[in-house]
Amino acid sequence: MIAADLLRHHLFPDFDLLGGSSGLNRELSSVSVIDAPDVDRWMRGGEFLVGSGYIFREDPEAFTDFLRRVNERGIAAVGVKLDRYHHELPSSMVSEADRMGLPLLSIPLHYRWTDIIEGVQTFLFQERNRSACSIDEVGSFLEEGLDIRQILSTFASRLQRTLTVQCSQMGICHNFMPDGSVEGPEAAQEFLKTPVVQERGLPKRGQVVANLELRNSGVLQWSASYRFLSDTPLTVHLWLSQGENMPSARQERMILRAMTLVRASALELSAISNRSAMKKEKLFETLCLDIYNDTSIVEANLRELGITLPHKSCVVIVSSMDGTSPPRWTPPNAVMSYRLGDMWTGLVPLPDLDQAKGEWSQRGRDLKVYVAIGGGIKSIGEISRSYQEAKRTFNWLREFSLDPGAYAHEDLSLYALLDNLFRLPEAKGVYKRFFEPLLEEASSNSRRSLPLKELVRSLVSCDFNARQCAQMLHLHYNTVRNHLDELEKLLGVDLNNPHHRLGLALAYHIGNGIKKRGIKL
């Protein structure tokens, strides 16, 4: 492994080379962390030396002298995590790296040292074992140690058929031959220009359109063509052998699998190519999680990205009600945002909360989405607080199954109270009186088709309406009535008594609170 391998898109796509490009061919054999000013005394050569610059935070210029000393020990490269203690490195350090030919890299804030060590060690392991491993070994693929052209060559070898692949986003227009060789764009274009004299449709495979083409290049030959025309335009032509006029099920399955891998690689390439958008997302995510410990570093990043914080704003979280798909709508004027699973989180200008909440509530009801609104923000330091409020609001929306729409943090004070009932000193007595007997009953009567604690959950959800409860549980009304009689007898309560109903509902919410946090009263 050499220092240049650190910049491969599948290893550390967002590392930046600051200086020392002439030394990118230095051999790299291990990773070490800068933990002391005299760490050079323990260097043996070939290390990728990484650190946050903490020990030089008071005297950044001392970093340059440190760079000279570690260079004399024959290290491969130096990587510094920026925005933790240094927004940028001294120009003297970059100049010295260029003079010595020592690669100097910037490491984004979100990386853990273990991420880097594991990535380098995995790459080194693969390189040492490459000669003993087949190119399509599953383990190598999972570790992202192969490029897509090698993978397509492997598919062609396995199929023992030529594949002509076009994907402009990946810069691919090649013939992949059965012997593992690859022919360039000229050969691929020659095939594509061959006249098609007959065409037959094949069954559509999801978003992939397939058809058979008979081409005449002096010799008639069938090929099966598979086209994906959505986000990543991609076409794969499978050359059929003489006498074949239809691909086998195995061939088709492998072609579809190859197309999936090409699309995945195109998606990855697209994600790492937009560096500015990536940096905005990471900056906002880090601000939400309150990782920065120096406001001046945040301000410098905002200036570099051309971001001006609105005078009034808030953090907003949007998610679909079902939690299984991305939301169909998000506020259009977000200054920064990022997505995580089915959740979209954004920093949104909010000059008028009531007006925005009214508009967003209608959107939420129409499109079945939750919109959780954090408190107002007037400075950088308040972003994390607003995010935490939006996150709690979102959790209450899901936990209490509220209707779709927009909700500010203060709108859900009641649910905040219910979520924190277990903290009250009286909670233990209420829980013991109204809910603990249900748990004991469930453990002693395991054959019961409907545990009484599940009956209570449905009752609370239905406001103690027995008929609605029966519908929710898909049980006959009389069956539910019988269970309610057992519940009253076990707890010694009268469900017509509003105080008893309130006690049961409070005990249920206390139970949810302690279960969610894994604690005991």
* Whether residue 330 sits in one domain with residue 290: yes
Same domain? 286 vs 268: no
Least confident among 66-70, 232-236, 284-288, 333-337: 232-236
Structural domain ending residue among the three candidates 386, 418, 450 = 418
Using N-to-C axis directions, what is the helix angle for 477-491 and 466-473, rounded to 10°? 110
- Checking if the pLDDT of 88 tops 80, the result is yes
Kindly state whether residues 268 and 282 are assigned to the same domain. no
pLDDT at residue 237 is higher than 60: yes
- Grade residue 107 by pLDDT with cuts at 50, 70 and 90: very high
Give the pLDDT score at 137. 47
Structure tokens at 45: 């050569």
Query: What CATH number should be reported for the domain holding residue 41?
Result: 3.40.1390.20
Residues 285 and 409 reside in one and the same domain: yes
Q: Is residue 139 part of a domain?
A: no
Give φ, ψ of 171 to 5 degrees: 70, 35
Residues in the chain, total = 521
Instruction: Quick: pLDDT tens for 348-371.
Output: 998 888 898 899 999 999 999 999
Q: Are residues 227 and 333 in the same domain?
A: no
If asked whether residues 411 and 281 sit together in one domain, one would say: yes
What is the predicted pLDDT for the residue at 68?
A: 93
| Neighbouring residues of 293: CB distance < 8 A, sequence distance ≥ 6 | 84
Looking from the CA of 515 toward its CB, the CA atoms found within 13 Å total: 11
pLDDT tens, residue by residue, 174-220: 999 999 899 988 899 889 888 888 888 888 888 888 999 998 888 88
Q: Is the dihedral of CA 79, 83, 88, 90 positive or negative?
A: negative
For residues 290 and 408, membership in a common domain is answered with yes
Structural domain containing residue 379: 276-418
pLDDT band at 491 (very low <50, low <70, confident <90, very high): very high
Please tell me whether residues 491 and 394 are part of one structural domain. no
Same domain for 390 and 471, yes or no, is: no
User: What does the pLDDT read at residue 271?
Assistant: 62
Per-residue tokens: 152 = 């397509």
Domain-located, residue 135: no
How large is the average pLDDT for residues 434-438? 89
Q: Is 99 within a domain?
A: yes
Looking at the fold, whether 121 and 178 belong to one and the same domain comes out as no
C-alpha–C-alpha distance, residues 491 and 335, integer Å: 54
Q: Which whole number is the average pLDDT over 451-476?
A: 90
Helices 466-473 and 452-461, packing angle to 10 deg: 120
| Residue 137 within any structural domain of the chain | no
Domain boundary among the residues 272, 295, 317 is at: 272
Indicate if the alpha-carbon torsion angle 483, 484, 485, 488 is positive or negative: positive
Question: What CATH code is carried by the domain that includes residue 451?
Answer: 1.10.10.2840
- Is 95 among the domain residues? yes
- Rounded to whole angstroms, the Cα distance separating 60 from 164 reads 54
Query: Is residue 314 predicted with pLDDT exceeding 90?
Result: yes
Residues 179 and 132: their CA atoms lie apart, in Å, by 19
Please name every residue paired with 376 in a beta bridge, in sequence order, or none if there are none: 314
pLDDT above 80 (res 520): no
pLDDT at 138 over 50: no
pLDDT-based confidence at residue 134 (cuts at 50, 70, 90):
very low
Overall number of domains in the chain: 4
Residue 375 has pLDDT above 70, yes or no: yes
Domain with residue 358: its CATH number is 3.30.70
**Whether residue 292 sits in one domain with residue 158:** no
Q: Is 175 helix (H, G, I), strand (E, B) or coil?
A: strand
Residue 132 lies in a domain: no
Is residue 249's pLDDT more than 80?
no
Which pLDDT tens digit goes with each residue over 29-52? 999 999 888 888 888 899 999 999
The pLDDT, as a whole number, for residue 207 is 82
* Contact (CB, 8 A) for 151 and 263: no
Q: Are strands 336-340 and 104-107 parallel, antiparallel or unpaired?
A: unpaired
By the 10 Å C-beta count (0-12 exposed, 13-18 middle, 19+ buried), 120 is classed as: buried
- Could you tell me which residues come within 8 angstroms of residue 212 by beta carbon, excluding any fewer than 6 positions away? 199, 200, 201, 202, 222, 223, 224, 225, 245, 246
Q: Which of 242, 272, 302 is the last residue of a domain?
A: 272
Co-location of 28 and 114 in the same domain = yes
Cα-flanking dihedrals φ and ψ of residue 376, to 5°?
-65, 150
Task: Report the C-alpha gap between 441 and 453 in whole angstroms.
Answer: 9
Q: Is the pLDDT of residue 144 over 60?
A: no
> Does residue 138 form part of some domain?
no
Q: Answer whether residue 66 is part of any domain.
A: yes
Q: What is the mean pLDDT of the chain?
A: 87
